[in-house]
Structure 1
Amino acid sequence: MCIIVMFVQDNGRIGDEFMRQIESIAAYTPYMTCPGNHEWVANFSQYRSRFSMPGDTESLWYSWNIGPAHIISFSTEVYFYLEFGLDLLFTQYQWLRSDLEVRMGRNDTTPPAPGLEDLFYQYGVDLELWAHEHTYERLWPVYNYKVLNGSSEEPYVNPKAPVHIITGSAGCREKHDGFIPHPRDWSAFRSSDYGYTRMHVINHTHLYLEQVSDDQYGKVIDKMMLVKEKHGAHAWS
């Protein structure tokens, strides 16, 4: 599980209380964490002091292998809280590029600016999971505002761009975020139900993902099978 704690409020006391409440589960259930916008106070200092994830980056970003999957956890918050300087932004970008280069087994030319879309596209990232928005949305494979499906019949079979899933519907006292009235071409499915996402990496080529609605008592409201028969950079595939 991924834990997001509201350390920003009451000098971390809200976060402390939350951590006490989940002790009985967190003590026995493996979990991974990543910082979000609620952890920004004092340059994420409370988050850094509480968690110990792999690597030597104070748990702010890291990667690990599980079965056939290589999973990267990183922070988009470094693009927003620039009052703390640009060091975190550029350090994370350089780390991301190095991590992807190792996975690809080559050193490609990547953009010098610390943007993410070109980086993930060129290094062939298959799936990108995002949160923050208190909703769920599945996108068609998309890059540079263009839908790049594998085919019209099987859009997620050998897609020509990364697949984006926005899964932030676990619940929040701020309630749901609204959708724009008319979705863009790359929006395949969206829902404002509270719920959660399950993902199963079946093997080196197949990944199954489904969205479960808590509002509908555990009903699976969306599902997708992502198939990549050949892994590699989208830009040169």
Structure 2
Amino acid sequence: MSLGYKCDRKSTLKTFLKGPIHFISFSTEVYYYLNYGLKLLTKQFEWLENDLKQANSPENRAKHPWIITYGHRPMYCSDDKEYDCNTELETFIRQGFPPFKVFGLEQLFYKYGVDVEFFAHEHFYTRLWPMYDFKVHNTSYINATAPIQIITGSAGNKENREPFSKELPEWNAFHSNASRNDYGYTRLKAYNVTHLYIEQVSDDQNGAIIDKVWIIKYQHGAYTADASLA
């Protein structure tokens, strides 16, 4: 199966190439609606691994070194509610189903060197440090040794915005105004194969940029288990 734009109109799985970026869209809901059976979940996991394998061939990774995924529910978060994403529970999305921990996505994305993971669900904006398995790997976005996750879920919702935890976790590098929690959206630009720029725009502040970050990576690929921690 050649890389390009791939999708099934009846599926939530999509992948497409834009400049030096390989984008992958997937569903987190297949982990929570098991009344529809395991087929959707197993099909998605197999599809994701196959796509990531192709993306990591030397030829494809050279042409499209940035791998960026996006899905709905995050693996980690920092709100003040008792969600599975802000505790060290064995969450289905992150670690897979107990007791064998199958179909977990964190290890899969780490194995194949995903650079950035976008999520939503929580009605706020948060930028995380590079991390894996509840451990911050390095507090820098230069040659990160683990995926960088960004939660951008404050575009607007009838349920309004959500407050942050009073004690923010160590993986929280930036979050939108805790007292106001701005509505807004995220912009992304890949300048080249080594430099990626992300900024968060606030609607509440008439288009002001409330967060911006350069992600710089001189070598893309799988992460290693002995990568240095913070």
TM-score, shorter chain, exceeding 0.5: yes
Q: Distance in 1 between matches of 2:154 and 2:145?
A: 28
Equivalent position to 1:95, from 47, 50, 57: 47
Q: What is aligned with 1:174?
A: 159
Q: What is aligned with 2:141?
A: 156
Q: What is aligned with 1:219?
A: 208
Following superposition, the deviation at residue 58 of structure 1 comes to 1.8
Q: What is aligned with 1:195?
A: 184
Cα-to-partner distance string for 1:158-198 (whole Å, 9 max, x where unaligned) = 01000000001101110012211111100001112100000
Q: What is aligned with 2:217?
A: 228
Q: What is aligned with 1:135?
A: 124
Following superposition, the deviation at residue 54 of structure 1 comes to 3.8
Structure 2 counterpart SS, 1:212: strand
Q: Distance in 2 between matches of 1:132 and 1:145?
A: 19
Q: What is aligned with 1:209?
A: 198
Following superposition, the deviation at residue 235 of structure 1 comes to 2.2
Following superposition, the deviation at residue 55 of structure 1 comes to 2.2
Q: Distance in 1 between matches of 2:208 and 2:9?
A: 39
Q: Distance in 1 between matches of 2:171 and 2:101?
A: 27
Equivalent position to 1:105, from 41, 46, 57: 57
1:10-29 matches, within 5 Å, as none
Q: AA paired with 2:193?
A: H
Q: Distance in 1 between matches of 2:48 and 2:101?
A: 13
Q: AA paired with 2:161?
A: H
> Identity of paired residues, percent?
51
Q: Which has the higher contact order (CA 8 A, sep 6+)?
A: 2
Q: Distance in 2 between matches of 1:203 and 1:63?
A: 20
Instruction: Select the structure of larger CA radius of gyration.
Output: 1
Structure 1 alignment gaps of length 5 or more:
1-52
Q: Distance in 2 between matches of 1:174 and 1:68?
A: 36
Q: Distance in 2 between matches of 1:138 and 1:178?
A: 15
> How much is the aligned-residue C-alpha RMSD, in angstroms?
1.8
Q: Distance in 2 between matches of 1:139 and 1:232?
A: 20
Structure 1 counterpart SS, 2:167: coil
Q: AA paired with 1:103?
A: A
Q: Distance in 2 between matches of 1:56 and 1:217?
A: 38
Q: What is aligned with 1:56?
A: 8
Q: Distance in 2 between matches of 1:70 and 1:58?
A: 21
Most deviating of 204-213 and 57-66: 57-66
Following superposition, the deviation at residue 228 of structure 1 comes to 1.1
Cα-to-partner distance string for 1:109-158 (whole Å, 9 max, x where unaligned) = xx981000000001000000001111000000000111112xx5xx0000
Structure 1 counterpart SS, 2:199: strand
Q: Distance in 1 between matches of 2:39 and 2:191?
A: 38
Q: AA paired with 1:193?
A: D
Structure 2 counterpart SS, 1:235: coil
Change (3 A) 1:95 1:112: farther
Q: AA paired with 1:179?
A: F
Structure 2 counterpart SS, 1:95: helix
Q: Distance in 2 between matches of 1:126 and 1:187?
A: 17
Following superposition, the deviation at residue 57 of structure 1 comes to 5.9
Q: Distance in 1 between matches of 2:101 and 2:204?
A: 44
1:35-46 matches, within 5 Å, as none
